[in-house]
Amino acid sequence: MRAEDPQIVRLADYRPSDFLIETVDLDVNLHPTATRVTARLSIRPNPDGREVAALVLDGEDLNLVSAAIDGGALEADALDVSPERLTIANPPRRPFELTIVTEIDPTANTRLMGLYRSNGAYTTQCEAEGFRRITYFLDRPDVLAVYTTRVEGPKDETPVLLSNGNLAETGEVGDGRHFAVWHDPHPKPSYLFALVAGDLGVVEDRFVTASGRDVALKVFVEHGREDRAAYAMDAIKRSMRWDEEAFGREYDLDVFMVVAVSHFNMGAMENKGLNVFNDKYVLASPETATDGDYANIEAIIAHEYFHNWTGNRITCRDWFQLCLKEGLTVFRDQEFTSDTRSRPVKRIQDVRNLRAAQFAEDSGPLAHPVRPQAYAEINNFYTPTVYEKGAEVIRMLKVLIGPEAFKAGMDLYFDRHDGQACTIEQFIACFAEVSGRDFDQFMLWYHQAGTPSVEVSTAYDAAEKTFTIEATQRVPPTPGQPTKAPAVIPMVVGLIGPDGRDLPLVVGGQPTDAVLALTSATTRVTFEGLKQRPVASLFRNFSAPVKLSADLTDDDYLFLAANDPDPFNRWQAGQTVALRNLVARVAALRTAGATPEEPRIADAVRRAFAPGETDHAFAAQVAALPSEGDVAREIGDDVDPDAIHAARRALKGAIAASLADEIAAAYARLEDTGPYSPDAASAGRRALKVSALDYLAADGGAEGVALAKALFDGATNMTDRIMALQVLSLHAAPDRDAALDAFAASYGSDPLLMDKWLLIQASAPLPDTLDRVRELTRSRYFDSGNPNRVRSLVGAFGANPTQFNRADGAGYAFVAETARALDGRNPQVAARLLGAFKTWRALEPGRRAKAEDALRTLSRAPGLSADVGDIVRRALG
């Protein structure tokens, strides 16, 4: 398809399929370059569809060998084969069996969609529209079928043959080939189909469900990596138990399998009973994985497992409903992690990520609603908005109706819609029903793009003993949505007295709930019975994904940072003071004005490093300053990334200087003792330790650098080693290069570890970073055919605030050129790289012009994929 005339798919055009497919019998005869797929489909006209003169099946990159209806071969004049579809004229108006034989080339499949071969093993990825690259099909999520899959391959190359469901049969066929037949009794859409075949190692365990089903658990990894699968296996068992306890959801097959593959476009995929994972989210050992890796593995294992109910048993009617499964499943995995680790710390991390990724997306040219209305390429809508904002919408729903009604609504949803392909409306109707509430206005969260801003002003009336909160909301214009209506925004509030305790909330003489629903442009609430001016704690636990600006003073925020009973807002208060200071510093730098005075934020940081602080993970969050991206978004437009970097560095240096002794003492105190354990408390201690190190090395002085070097040299686990390397890499010191060389010498043969090494270098805020990245693209540690390598090097560079945004535009040109070079090979990964441009319009005019240049040059390149074409068009649009 030409990038210039994209085909737009619209939600408003949805129609049920004219045909249904009830069973799929697949026979996949594996061959590296000529795999033969025989699909026997039992098809019937859909009573809810139209009577049509043709059956149109989706296809892509397929060679049709033959097609037959009820055993009778179809002649050429009954068939119309194009690269994108197979049209069968005058199909029967009764149930019939269609047999299609196609041939595909898994080795040539570099897009990693459909059936592909990497490292000698066969893998599939079918979401969203990959199944059509395996056989002609009604490749849409509302066509649910029962699959039986026979996989045949050579015994030596593919001793392991897997597909969805339960194993039904195995056998030999001579010629050194064997087969396995898998049957999945649960009707599913084609995007949940999977097949894996290869010579893989396996780790096995079992799980007994609440009702007594004995489930075999298998994690398949490359041979020799079995010892890195234990944590993933443990996470599977904990996820299974948690879903039973928290949501009453049990597993429903006799086997649950996870396969780790090295070439994968995304994080992982929830294929029924056969989850396929990017190996980076499975493999872990203390020697090879960081605390962050362990946390990701746990969360992603949980996420994919939870899809079994939210996604698989109940799936999406069409791809516009993607958030139905993704937003909800992210919400569920966030809850799992909150229960497993620290709830406040998880909330803080999620909000940091939401702001960095989703708020950034929402404020730029790629902004779109949680449920988009139209798309040119669905793969470009697996976004932070659909996933993370989608999860925030579920969270708000829960805050608004309360935990009991939320649980009742979820139960009703599972009960009513099991086995169906649903819409957001059907999901929300369950909550409307159990709560008796009207969700019309709430639905705006699904329809309107853009991050609402809420401005709060407060007034204390000493004579009346009242405190009034006035909140004004505004949803900014976004592409295609110039005007917006007020959303329903749950604002959870507290009023804190001078003793640091929450005061009773009384309105109109009645005790009242802490949840204020802001439903109009301006909402005013007056609290009574307040003998002294309280300090307001607003949007506790980040009760809505909005940007808040309030008339609270720095003193108020410092009070909250020390006293707020809500831990999230205790953290947020410190961040707000720091952010104000950083914005003022940037303004001073750019106008050569006076630097703002001594940062009182140091008080909050001092508490984080105090000997009495025992919640290290939380303290590490308090100690971490707002990111450069946070500052850029707060400034909003005319952004100068260099000034932001300089301001942040100066603030860090000022804090480090004023707390030098306390931080040094904390660093010594937080020293690792005993063997490595990835648990949350130990990880928290290491996080606070490296935060101390980061401050101690803030000025790039010899002492701090020596500490980092000592940590690197003496590290007994990968977390310390990587954190030390990261600190060293901020400074162009000779120690940095020595450490990088030493790392490569030790781990050069382990691609997942070398990814960290690539990422650290691509993230360095140093003027030689781009040259280095270019050089690294030619090194033996890089491979443009592997998405993990590409993301670690080029993706990380695109997220480097100062070096991607070099004033000379070379960073923009590099990322755009790399995306173009990759586009022919893997359009999805190429399109992802261009996410780096999502905030280009907010830049100062010089950089903005350079970024636009790079995008325009790219847009003129011939033969762009639909994926890249779509992003470029929207970014410029």
Active site residues: 304
Question: Residue 30 Cβ, how far from ligand ARG at the closest point, in Å?
Answer: 22
Question: Residue 128 Cβ, how far from Zn ion at the closest point, in Å?
Answer: 12
Question: Residue 314 Cβ, how far from ligand ARG at the closest point, in Å?
Answer: 14
Rounded Cα distance between 157 and 130, Å, is: 24
Contact between 379 and ligand ARG per CB under 6 A: yes
Contact between 239 and ligand ARG per CB under 6 A: no
Q: Which residue in the shown chain puts its C-beta closest to ligand ARG? A: 382
> Both tokens of residue 873?
């068009």
Taking the least distance from each CB to Zn ion, the nearer of 326 and 755 is: 326
Q: Is the peptide bond before 128 cis (omega within 30 degrees of 0)?
A: yes
* DSSP string for 203-250: EEEEEE-TT--EEEEEEEEETT-GGG-HHHHHHHHHHHHHHHHHH---
Taking the least distance from each CB to Zn ion, the nearer of 222 and 326 is: 326
Rounded Cα distance between 468 and 322, Å, is: 40
Rounded Cα distance between 716 and 875, Å, is: 45
> x/- string (CB under 5 A) for Zn ion, residues 305-334?
---------------------x--x-----
> x/- string (CB under 6 A) for ligand ARG, residues 278-307?
-------------------------xx---
**Nearest CA to 509 among 534, 532, 494, 527?**
527
Contact between 503 and ligand ARG per CB under 6 A: no
Question: Residue 429 Cβ, how far from ligand ARG at the closest point, in Å?
Answer: 24
Strand partners, 163: 195
Contact between 115 and ligand ARG per CB under 6 A: no
Of 121, 161, 181, 269, which one interacts with ligand ARG (CB under 6 A)? Answer: 269
At 309, give phi and psi (nearest 5°): -100, -45
Taking the least distance from each CB to Zn ion, the nearer of 326 and 350 is: 326
Taking the least distance from each CB to ligand ARG, the nearer of 141 and 596 is: 141
> Both tokens of residue 238?
């904990």
Question: Residue 284 Cβ, how far from Zn ion at the closest point, in Å?
Answer: 20
Question: Residue 196 Cβ, how far from ligand ARG at the closest point, in Å?
Answer: 16
Taking the least distance from each CB to ligand ARG, the nearer of 131 and 609 is: 131
Taking the least distance from each CB to ligand ARG, the nearer of 323 and 583 is: 323
* Chosen from ligand ARG, Zn ion, none, partner binding at 127 (C-beta under 5 to 8 Å by type): ligand ARG
Q: How many residues bind ligand ARG (CB under 6 A)?
A: 12
* Chosen from Zn ion, ligand ARG, none, partner binding at 352 (C-beta under 5 to 8 Å by type): none
Question: Residue 336 Cβ, how far from ligand ARG at the closest point, in Å?
Answer: 14
Taking the least distance from each CB to ligand ARG, the nearer of 182 and 382 is: 382
What are the residues whose beta carbons fall under 8 Å from the beta carbon of 679, sequence distance 6 or more? none
Question: Residue 117 Cβ, how far from ligand ARG at the closest point, in Å?
Answer: 18
Q: Is 540 helix (H, G, I), strand (E, B) or coil?
A: coil
| 265 contacts 118 by C-beta, under 8 angstroms | no
Question: Residue 330 Cβ, how far from Zn ion at the closest point, in Å?
Answer: 7
Containing 348, the helix (H) or strand (E) segment is helix 343-353
* Chosen from Zn ion, ligand ARG, none, partner binding at 266 (C-beta under 5 to 8 Å by type): ligand ARG
Rounded Cα distance between 624 and 635, Å, is: 19
Of 137, 281, 382, 539, which one interacts with ligand ARG (CB under 6 A)? Answer: 382
Q: How many CB atoms are located within 10 Å of the residue 179 CB?
A: 18
Rounded Cα distance between 537 and 492, Å, is: 8
Dihedral, CA of residue 54, residue 58, residue 61 and residue 65, to nearest 10: -50
**Nearest CA to 453 among 388, 550, 327?**
550
The DSSP call for residue 793 is I
- The HSE-up count of residue 130 (CA atoms within 13 Å, CB side) is 25
| 780 contacts 803 by C-beta, under 8 angstroms | no
Stretch of 260-268, 406-414, 602-610, 751-759 contacting ligand ARG, by CB under 6 A: 260-268
* Chosen from ligand ARG, Zn ion, none, partner binding at 382 (C-beta under 5 to 8 Å by type): ligand ARG
| Cα separation values, 719 from 282, 337, 694, 840, Å | 17, 20, 14, 33
What single letter denotes the amino acid at residue 320?
F
Taking the least distance from each CB to Zn ion, the nearer of 125 and 569 is: 125
The DSSP call for residue 13 is G
Contact between 266 and ligand ARG per CB under 6 A: yes
Please state whether 674 falls in left (phi above 0), alpha (psi between -120 and 50) or beta. Answer: left
Question: Residue 269 Cβ, how far from ligand ARG at the closest point, in Å?
Answer: 5
| Cα separation values, 600 from 92, 302, 697, Å | 77, 40, 21
> Both tokens of residue 176?
């050194």
Question: Residue 361 Cβ, how far from ligand ARG at the closest point, in Å?
Answer: 16
Using only the alpha carbons of the chain, give its radius of gyration: 28
Taking the least distance from each CB to ligand ARG, the nearer of 382 and 413 is: 382
Per-residue b or e along 279-305, where b marks 16 or more CB atoms closer than 10 Å to that residue's CB:
bbbbbbbbbbbbbebbbbbbbbbbbbb
Question: Residue 307 Cβ, how far from Zn ion at the closest point, in Å?
Answer: 6
Taking the least distance from each CB to ligand ARG, the nearer of 142 and 304 is: 304
CA diameter of the chain: 94
Taking the least distance from each CB to ligand ARG, the nearer of 569 and 826 is: 826
> x/- string (CB under 6 A) for ligand ARG, residues 312-331?
--------------x-----
* DSSP string for 689-735: HHHHHHHHTTT--HHHHHHHHHHHHH-SSHHHHHHHHHHHHTS--HH
Contact between 826 and ligand ARG per CB under 6 A: no
Contact between 265 and ligand ARG per CB under 6 A: yes
| 218 contacts 202 by C-beta, under 8 angstroms | yes
Stretch of 265-273, 367-375, 495-503, 616-624 contacting ligand ARG, by CB under 6 A: 265-273
* Chosen from Zn ion, ligand ARG, none, partner binding at 265 (C-beta under 5 to 8 Å by type): ligand ARG
Taking the least distance from each CB to ligand ARG, the nearer of 307 and 570 is: 307
Of 25, 58, 127, 720, which one interacts with ligand ARG (CB under 6 A)? Answer: 127
Of 139, 184, 270, 279, which one interacts with ligand ARG (CB under 6 A)? Answer: 270
Binding site for Zn ion (CB under 5 A): 326, 329
Residues that bind ligand ARG (CB under 6 A): 127-128, 265-266, 268-270, 303-304, 326, 379, 382
